[in-house]
Amino acid sequence: MRIVFLTQYFPPEVGAPQNRISHLASTFKENGADVTVLTAMPNYPEMVVHQEYRGKWFCREDIDGLKVLRSRIFVKGSRKNLFFRLLAYFSFVITSLVLGIVKLNRFDFIFCESPPLFLGISAYVLNSIRGGKLILNVSDLMPESAERLGLVSNKLLLSASYKLEEFLYRHSFLVSGQTQGIVRNISSRFPKLSVYWLKNGVDLSFFRAESIDSDWRTMNGYSTKDFILLYAGIVGYPQGLDVILRAAARLKNQPDIKFAIVGSGPVKEELIGMKERFELGNVCFFDAQPKQRMPDIISACDAGIIPLRKVDLFKGAVPSKAFEYLAMRKPILLGVEGEAKELLIEEGKCGLSFEPDNDEDLYNSIMKAYESESLCETLGENGLKYVTKHFNRCVIAEQFWQFLKDPSRTS
């Protein structure tokens, strides 16, 4: 099997798509596939191209035995300005298409990561030229998500994007989605499509609580009696992280309860300003950390906070960061309704839930966890058992490999 992974996001960047695609690509290679990754110069989430890649239009490198082809992306000004964000998306559409035409040979499959939805244009053209089968992987429903969050309101742009979405779905051999909500949404609108639940998961060989002797807590000035609540991930508008700071304001009289926010993103400066206005000495911000540091950081904390805004669309979301906490036996405080709550709280009993955007409800969940060490231990043990059974990334990747190998499905 010859397969191309086309994605704007790939290591050394950190994030859910980067982790998922690199693990899929490595699994396929280990099973004997000829794998090529076609991606952008690393820049996410700071939206600044990494120093060693600046000024390059194209390059080739090997990452953990994978052949990786990179092309230029223009990211200046794209963090806050829609025009420049679109420019970034389409710059990679064009450069990836050029590089793909020049460097790619015939392939059996091209696996395209969306968002950005527009990258499907490059995937479709390359697939038409090279004669393979297009797999469109949907980790977020675009443009629906951007419209409902109020991030895009231009009717012409939305109309064109919805038409592109439909076009790409109808010309895909397979559409995969990261949650059951995404799969149901696509299947209901396009019942004739072949849709596959390619769920997120966690690398249990990497996130192992018993193998960590963490010094992160003491290195960053926390005491052994501090109860540290961790958010680690993208600091963006959809995450609704202001709820954490508002809950922290309610907890000023609890000096042992501390909040650590690790990551980068477009609203970080705004949140830092909010911390200063509220004089929140119990909240600390940290830069985004490489993946290799995350087990050490998670191990040093007592629980993870997983928030999203109170938007109906997010009822079909399952934030992948939750699995890393659970693999490390850490309970989660989940501010996400719908599928995530049903799986991780009601079925898995891995944590406590709070209403999205409700800082009083988050405060109550924090106090419940803080006041019961035995509860946290039970929830943590439940979490490890649950992700081991249902969200083992190695098993998920192997199942997808076997699915694509089945001649009854790919003929």
One DSSP character per residue, 201-261 reads -B-TTTS-GGG----HHHHTT--TT-EEEEEES--STTTTTHHHHHHHHHTTT-TTEEEEE
Q: Any bridge partners for residue 261, and if so which?
A: 231, 285
Residue 410 pLDDT class (50, 70, 90 cuts): low
Tell me, what amino acid is at 13?
E
**Of the given ranges (90-99, 194-203, 204-213), which has the lowest mean pLDDT?**
204-213
pLDDT (0 to 100) of residue 409:
60
User: Which tops the pLDDT comparison, 151 or 194?
Assistant: 194
Q: What burial class does residue 177 get, using C-beta atoms within 10 Å of its C-beta: 0-12 exposed, 13-18 middle, 19+ buried?
A: buried
What would the mean pLDDT of 57-67 be, rounded to a whole number?
A: 92
What contacts 365, CB < 8 A, 6 or more positions away? 333, 352, 353, 354
Residue 124's pLDDT is what? 97
Contacts of 341 (CB under 8 A, 6+ apart): 334, 353
Checking if the pLDDT of 184 tops 60, the result is yes
pLDDT of 169 above 80: yes
Q: What is the predicted pLDDT for the residue at 47?
A: 82
pLDDT at 211: 65
Instruction: Give 113's DSSP letter.
Output: E
Give 47 or 282, the one with higher predicted confidence: 282
Phi, psi of 109, deg, nearest 5: -140, 145
Residue from 376, 318, 313, 363 nearest 344 by CA: 318
Single-letter amino acid code for the residue at 141: L
Q: Checking DSSP bridges between strand 66-71 and strand 58-63, what pairing results, if any?
A: antiparallel
Percent residues over pLDDT 70 in the chain: 98
Task: Report helix, strand or coil for 258.
Answer: strand
- Quick check: 108 and 2 in contact, CB under 8 A? yes
Q: What is the rounded distance in angstroms from the CA atom of residue 289 to the CA atom of residue 258?
A: 19
State the pLDDT confidence band at 406, using cuts at 50, 70 and 90.
Answer: confident
The band of 222, judged by pLDDT with boundaries at 50, 70 and 90, is very high
User: For helices 373-390 and 359-370, what crossing angle results, to 10°?
Assistant: 100
Predicted pLDDT of residue 335: 97
Rounded-to-integer distance, Cα 228 and Cα 31, Å: 41
pLDDT of residue 307: 97
Residue 373 contacts residue 380 (beta carbons within 8 Å) = no
Give the residue-averaged pLDDT of 361-382. Answer: 97
Cα dihedral sign, 110-123-84-68 = positive
pLDDT at 73 over 90: yes
The pLDDT-based confidence of 154 (bands split at 50, 70, 90) is confident
Q: Are 275 and 283 in contact (CB under 8 A)?
A: yes
Q: At what angle do helices 16-30 and 393-405 cross, to 10 degrees?
A: 60
Q: Where in 125-212 does DSSP place strands (E)?
A: 133-138, 174-177, 195-197
Q: Measure the CA dihedral 158/163/169/171, to 10°.
A: -150
pLDDT at 408: 66
Which of 113, 96, 85, 81 minimizes the C-alpha distance to 41? Answer: 96
- What would the mean pLDDT of 289-308 be, rounded to a whole number? 93
Q: Do domains 2-201+392-410 and 209-390 have the same CATH topology?
A: yes
Going by pLDDT thresholds of 50, 70 and 90, the confidence category of residue 407 is low
- Domain positions in the chain are 2-201+392-410, 209-390
Higher pLDDT, 277 or 316: 277
Residue 78 pLDDT exceeds 80? no
Instruction: Tell me: pLDDT of 210 over 80.
Output: no
For the chain, what is the mean pLDDT? 93
Q: In what order do the strands lie in the sheet with 2-7?
A: 58-63, 66-71, 34-40, 2-7, 109-114, 133-138, 174-177, 195-197
Looking at residue 45, what is its pLDDT?
Answer: 77
Amino acid at 11: P
- Residue 268, pLDDT above cutoff 90: yes
Per-residue model confidence (pLDDT) at position 316: 87
Give, in words, the CATH class of 209-390: alpha beta
Would you call 376 helix, strand, or coil by DSSP?
helix
Is the omega angle on the peptide bond into residue 143 within 30 degrees of 0, that is, cis?
yes
What homologous superfamily does CATH list for 2-201+392-410?
Glycogen Phosphorylase B; (3.40.50.2000)
